[in-house]
Amino acid sequence: MQLSQKEKMLLEDLKGHEQMFGQKCSDYANQAQDPQLKQIFQNMAQHEQQHIQSISQNLNETQGSQGQSGQTNQKDTLLCHDMLSSQKYLSGAYNTAIFEMKDTNIRQELNTIQSDKQKHGEEIFKYMQSKGMYNVH
């Protein structure tokens, strides 16, 4: 089945999130002191690799084409993807709270905070685009 451009973009975005989360799981496994927690993080990292492979297959990619851009530091790329994901999540959470808040003054304050989240996300996004970390097709 042929994927639409939107479907490809969504899958590529999900793949990037999975790569970021998998790296985070591996990093946390290396940092964990408790052996049980270390094993939990290692298992999660393995599952993330399976998710990445599954998404890659759906994108008709080869396994070897999953690397980060050679122009950027891999840790910086991970930090940027994590921060952008956090900004997206927080913006969505604020959106829900704004719609469910009775007090107009609180709604306006939350709207201002959400606007800041969007500005911060845009700044990170533009940086990532300029460094080849985030490509919009």
Pick from 16-30, 39-53, 54-68: least confident: 54-68
pTM above 0.75, yes or no: no
**Whole-number Å distance between alpha carbons of 9 and 12:** 5
pLDDT digits (tens, 9 = 90+) for 51-77: 889 888 888 753 334 344 445 678 888
**Whole-number Å distance between alpha carbons of 25 and 19:** 10
- Cα–Cα nearest to 80, from 16, 11, 27: 16
The type of residue at 93 is: A
**Whole-number Å distance between alpha carbons of 121 and 115:** 10
The type of residue at 71 is: Q
pLDDT digits (tens, 9 = 90+) for 101-128: 998 999 999 999 999 999 999 999 999 9
